[in-house]
A and B are shown apart, each in its own frame.
Chain A
């Protein structure tokens, strides 16, 4: 009688004991906010806890993620996730599956136009015997929440070119226009391949480490300028800006420039000036200052009538100084109340123009 009772109880309980294998599926983060425009990325880690009923090796899998609105599947996301789990009967294990889901613009629009709180991303995990669903809340509008997300990096040289041919000693810099979402620390590097490496296996070296704190109310844009790029060796250089990107899918363009012999006759506007600001008033105590230019032997500040190339007045100083004032006899050449353009020129020992700054406006007082 007792034996029959035990057998009956085992018969009743056996299916439950065999099926209680996937205990929990927990997404991290438990909720995300996605941008309403573009192809928002969601990086999620699914933590799956299971207990083995018997000693066996099984595959814990999930075919895909589902985007749901009000519990109804509107589209599928992602790919199959699978890990092997080998346990002794009664033993438990926690498995972690990390993925980055990319929503299409149409899916992002669905999230934006659905009621708040009604959108979820779910994944069903199975170990061939039991299944369990994990649910992550999805909210619309990637504002300032979450980690910094780099949206786009556009790379060019200062003259806007992407493939450039220059001369030895020319001043060359690259510019990265970074579009991003949210706020956080941008961890980037300017990297370059020298000609001596380009003949064979290209080895990148780090030219500069960039750590810049970025902020926005949701979307932002910043401009990062490289240090002066090397131009002493003839040959092909490759330069790029790379940044830490958790999703690992961001595209990092590569620029190339080739250095020829000789010197450029037409200098590129590639120098920075510190002061005075655009539209400043000119007086004898107005300080013109600028950043150091490698290889410069002398600097010259020149003033022009607007849209003219004829120098009205100027001043030339040696490279040991990075600022100057004009004397009265220079300003006497200018008309009161007139606006002039000014710029900086850096000159090497051989008289070659290393570069010029963009023109700024300056005004003679009445």
Chain B
């Protein structure tokens, strides 16, 4: 037994040694032996110890992955150790680090894989309570599956105007102002409640958001239920119901909506009532008080077969209501329009999403001035069809780089009288055929589009019909990093974009005495930007021209150049500057306008967390026809924080700031004027957060 026991002991020692080697030093069998040093706390570094005799070339063939993220680029070298300092302290839990040999890029070899755990690391919610819940609270919460968080941040300022010059219609000398926002989330079993709101404080009512010194800004309350079979929801406040169509697009307003659907998400039905105007304040809390500024409707989305991307999806939406008829603030008294409309949308992908098809039909019934006016109610239709295609299942390889190509075609036809209260800015009365394509090839990315468009879609007899050919393109190329004498160029990317548009008359009605259409528009932009070390900068030039061969409008030529630069130490100091120079020529009137705009901004944490400086300077020069006074404007503030704000503990600060504006009239010295104002500001900053 002694012999067998010895063998067993030796084998055990060998096994344990192997396990130690595997866990502590990485996989055996590779050329590089690495030792992992796990961080002891969330903010500690990760260290991979490499052999002291490792050469530089070998180092460049190694890569490190942290939690599936390739972090090789941000590693630092300490002797022959790879050191990874996390940008943010590691969250509590399990983390994985891998070391790989990428000498053969196509076949990387894993040299080591390590697991480490962080206990009590940084919470995913900053500003969490310093005191963690005790065991009893934890048990109770787990039993109820309850969790919640509340966060409320506010800042209140008292400002006193110390000095001023040439201020007309001066506001109050002392002003109390501020703002705050509130976020609360509560989850109880299958119910989730989410809320957010902001408020604005301004004792000078002329400068306040709504005319009230203290008032609600925007808010949203939503309650959702996620059951086994049903998903329900209700929302009150500012929101968008999330259906983009010709009938409703970008319609973020205050109102109410409810939603019901199956738990899997195959069917979702929504009913909504939203105000048509963008409002703030507590007076019209629901947003639905005014019947002349309200639409109501519903939507239904069905994905009958699958929820995979590209599966058949059918959406319908309708609305009915009243709102501002014109909506552009032009008419002194806006008529109240009455409108209703609906859209039906079908979306589907084919051939592993290589072909994406979308079709929409919309109908609108719109009375621009409602019952009070005499404009007739108009029915109108709109159609939108698009087909996007990726022609190659496997992208071709050209000159060693993958060429990813996509093509597309679309047809859009919006009737002359197509309008919607939920899509006020829609460009109607056009029938457009478009061909487009894009290609990502190596470091370049390009787009090309051709559109043929006509108006007078309804064929009104007294209306002339115009056409437009528009060919546009853009291309971007990301270069390799420059080295040696040219290293100051960093890693630049350059871009070129432009278009040519030819417009003309397609049909002129008999007896028509209006002006003709025959013009050519061209635009070309060339630019680039780069960053190197602490610097980043960019430059661009745009030349655009307009030629009207009917002489109804002037021929024009515009040249604009822009340059911007930024320096930062990524810590306490930031300097930014931008200059724009523009020359506009009216070739028919033989006049020119020159404009220069210069902006400089400096921000500095002179003493970190205690003394901060911010300075902005703007110079606007205008010369030529229609001369405007040159304007210099300086804004600045220095803030002394004498009590730091911490979660659930307010902070305080004093600031001295102001602005000065100097105008110099080139032709008329009567335009010379200097305006300044200086303020002393006392701030109270109050962040509050609670997690449960």
**CB distance A140 to B603 under 8 Å?**
no
**CB distance B331 to A102 under 8 Å?**
yes
**CB distance A117 to B511 under 8 Å?**
yes
Give per-residue flags for B589-609: 1 if the beta carbon is below 8 A from chain A beta carbons, else 0: 000000101010101000000
Give per-residue flags for A308-352: 1 if the beta carbon is below 8 A from chain B beta carbons, else 0: 000111111111111110111110110001010000000111111
Confirm or deny: A287 has a beta carbon within 8 angstroms of a beta carbon on chain B. yes
Give per-residue flags for A171-215: 1 if the beta carbon is below 8 A from chain B beta carbons, else 0: 000000101000111010000001111111111011111010101
Confirm or deny: A232 has a beta carbon within 8 angstroms of a beta carbon on chain B. yes
**CB distance B74 to A36 under 8 Å?**
no
Chain B hits for A139, CB < 8 A: 462-464, 512-515
**Which of B15-23, B171-179, B223-231, B255-263 interfaces with chain A?**
B171-179
Smallest beta-carbon distance B49→chain A, Å: 21
Chain B hits for A177, CB < 8 A: 250, 425
Smallest beta-carbon distance B640→chain A, Å: 13
Among A285-307, those with CB < 8 Å from B are 285-287, 289, 291-292, 294-295, 297-298, 300, 302, 306
Bound CA span A280–B395, Å: 10
**Which of A2-10, A49-57, A123-131, A147-155 interfaces with chain B?**
A147-155
Among A1-52, those with CB < 8 Å from B are 29, 31-33, 36-39, 41
B453: which of A29, A217, A277 is its contact (CB, 8 Å)?
A: A217
**CB distance B464 to A283 under 8 Å?**
no
Bound CA span A200–B465, Å: 52
**CB distance A194 to B616 under 8 Å?**
yes
**CB distance B402 to A106 under 8 Å?**
no
Give per-residue flags for B422-458: 1 if the beta carbon is below 8 A from chain A beta carbons, else 0: 0011111110100000101011010100000111100
Chain B hits for A285, CB < 8 A: 400-402, 442
**CB distance B454 to A156 under 8 Å?**
no
Chain A hits for B401, CB < 8 A: 285
Confirm or deny: B288 has a beta carbon within 8 angstroms of a beta carbon on chain A. no
Confirm or deny: B313 has a beta carbon within 8 angstroms of a beta carbon on chain A. no
**CB distance A292 to B252 under 8 Å?**
no
**CB distance A292 to B616 under 8 Å?**
no
**CB distance A31 to B464 under 8 Å?**
no
B429: which of A218, A281, A361 is its contact (CB, 8 Å)?
A: A218
B404: which of A106, A280, A292 is its contact (CB, 8 Å)?
A: A280
Chain A hits for B352, CB < 8 A: 337, 363
**CB distance A140 to B460 under 8 Å?**
yes
Bound CA span A339–B309, Å: 8
Confirm or deny: B648 has a beta carbon within 8 angstroms of a beta carbon on chain A. no
**CB distance B465 to A143 under 8 Å?**
yes
Give per-residue flags for B300-326: 1 if the beta carbon is below 8 A from chain A beta carbons, else 0: 000000000110000000000000011
Confirm or deny: B327 has a beta carbon within 8 angstroms of a beta carbon on chain A. yes
Confirm or deny: B68 has a beta carbon within 8 angstroms of a beta carbon on chain A. yes
Chain A hits for B373, CB < 8 A: 104-106
| Given known contacts A37-B416, A112-B462, A217-B467, A312 and B108 CB-to-CB distance under 8 angstroms | no
| Identity of the chain B residue whose Cβ is nearest the Cβ of A156 in the assembled complex | B252
| Given known contacts A206-B618, A294-B566, A41 and B462 CB-to-CB distance under 8 angstroms | no
Bound CA span A284–B309, Å: 24
**CB distance B394 to A330 under 8 Å?**
no
| Given known contacts A140-B462, A141-B456, A196-B637, A322 and B531 CB-to-CB distance under 8 angstroms | yes
**Which of B52-60, B132-140, B160-168 interfaces with chain A?**
B160-168
Chain A hits for B603, CB < 8 A: 232
**CB distance A311 to B404 under 8 Å?**
no
**CB distance A291 to B529 under 8 Å?**
yes
**CB distance A29 to B515 under 8 Å?**
yes
- Most chain B CB neighbours (cut-off 10 Å) among A104, A163, A187, A196: A196
Confirm or deny: B665 has a beta carbon within 8 angstroms of a beta carbon on chain A. no
Among B68-100, those with CB < 8 Å from A are 68-71, 73-74, 86-89, 98, 100
Bound CA span A296–B597, Å: 26
| Identity of the chain A residue whose Cβ is nearest the Cβ of B522 in the assembled complex | A213
**CB distance B546 to A183 under 8 Å?**
yes
**CB distance B69 to A311 under 8 Å?**
yes
Confirm or deny: A219 has a beta carbon within 8 angstroms of a beta carbon on chain B. yes
Confirm or deny: A145 has a beta carbon within 8 angstroms of a beta carbon on chain B. yes
**CB distance A196 to B512 under 8 Å?**
no
**CB distance A183 to B501 under 8 Å?**
yes
Chain A hits for B468, CB < 8 A: 144, 215-217
Confirm or deny: B584 has a beta carbon within 8 angstroms of a beta carbon on chain A. yes
**CB distance B513 to A31 under 8 Å?**
yes
Confirm or deny: B523 has a beta carbon within 8 angstroms of a beta carbon on chain A. yes
Bound CA span A112–B462, Å: 6
Confirm or deny: B35 has a beta carbon within 8 angstroms of a beta carbon on chain A. no
Confirm or deny: A92 has a beta carbon within 8 angstroms of a beta carbon on chain B. no
B63: which of A213, A314, A329 is its contact (CB, 8 Å)?
A: A329
Confirm or deny: A365 has a beta carbon within 8 angstroms of a beta carbon on chain B. yes
Confirm or deny: B159 has a beta carbon within 8 angstroms of a beta carbon on chain A. yes
Confirm or deny: B683 has a beta carbon within 8 angstroms of a beta carbon on chain A. yes
**CB distance A261 to B153 under 8 Å?**
yes
| Identity of the chain A residue whose Cβ is nearest the Cβ of B564 in the assembled complex | A227
| Identity of the chain A residue whose Cβ is nearest the Cβ of B353 in the assembled complex | A339
Bound CA span A313–B595, Å: 48
**CB distance B369 to A233 under 8 Å?**
no
| Given known contacts A183-B519, A277-B440, A306-B309, A145 and B580 CB-to-CB distance under 8 angstroms | no
10 additional A-B pairs beyond A230-B616, A316-B74, beta carbons within 8 Å, are A36-B416, A141-B460, A143-B456, A144-B519, A165-B180, A183-B501, A287-B443, A327-B105, A328-B105, A333-B68
Interface residues of A (CB under 8 A from B): 29, 31-33, 36-39, 41, 102, 104-106, 108-109, 111-118, 137-141, 143-147, 151-154, 156, 160-165, 167, 177, 179, 183-185, 187, 194-203, 205-209, 211, 213, 215-221, 230, 232-236, 247, 249-251, 253, 256, 258, 260-263, 265, 274-277, 279-281, 283-287, 289, 291-292, 294-295, 297-298, 300, 302, 306, 311-324, 326-330, 332-333, 337, 339, 347-352, 361, 363, 365-366
Q: Nearest 10 pairs between A and B by C-beta?
A: A139-B514, A251-B329, A351-B88, A141-B463, A258-B179, A117-B511, A218-B455, A160-B252, A143-B466, A275-B445
